[in-house]
Amino acid sequence: MRYGSSRLAITQQPTNGLRLYAHCMAAVHAQHGVVRIPHTYAHAYDPITRQLITQVINDHALRLVIHAPIIPPSTMQDTLERCAQLLSDIASHDGVIICHVPAARTNDEWQWMASLPASITRYLAVEHTLQPIDALLSAAEEFTIPVVFDWLHYHMLAPWPYAPVDVALKCCATWGSQRPLIHLSTPDTADYGNQHRHINGRHAAYLDWVTHMYFLGQLSERRAPTCDIEVEADAGSKALAHFLAQCRRHGPPQWHHLWA
């Protein structure tokens, strides 16, 4: 199982390929195996720079994840083409481009994505956001595009029955032979008298490590495929390090292989 953080201690406004290389090296230094990069990195780089980036990806088994802008996919074909070309140029064979499909336009957006050339669809995945999960999984099966399970988005929908492990397993099944990708985060909260309410779906600085340790442990016991995990937390690499340290210290022995 590989882990990564949504934030690294490096500028997020790249202007050249050496910054992408530095971004990958920052992930290596933080011992991350999953590397989120901004879509603004998607440019054509010179052959020497591409070779450097490809080497660090191969040497450290990094998985690159590009989050497309949070707008309907059909409005950004040029962006998807540039992202796919970058992943191809640097031989990021298990790279992922994550899209967000508005609930009101789900069918049209899925049909449009499925009509894209294979050079793009081979990298595409859709993040579970605010759509009904059953409809999302049905579309994923119909159009053969995998779903990224997002714990926070599922939690905020407050479905009943509340079954995040069952739903995550269904999302994992949409990935076929690819390694599934899962997002973990804890909702930011504010204290209104005696009530704690979510603030617009924002991520907290750190993870509720007990909840997510149990979640990943249950996935393992249910024979889920090996997954890659992106931790979305405002504290970035510190949040991931804290989560893994707590799991290693307090987790049951049968789950220790998950944090190794």
211: pLDDT strictly greater than 70 = yes
> Per residue in 68-122, pLDDT tens?
888 878 888 899 999 999 999 999 999 999 988 776 556 778 888 888 899 999 9
Query: How many CB atoms are closer than 10 A to CB 169?
Result: 18
Pairing, β 2-5 against β 96-99:
unpaired
In the chain, what are the domains? Answer: 2-258 (3.20.20.150)
Q: At what angle do helices 209-221 and 164-173 cross, to 10 degrees?
A: 60
Mapping DSSP onto H, E and C, the string for 203-236 reads ECCCCCHHHHHHHHHHHHHCCCCCCEEEECCCCC
Residue 66: strand pairing partners: 37, 97
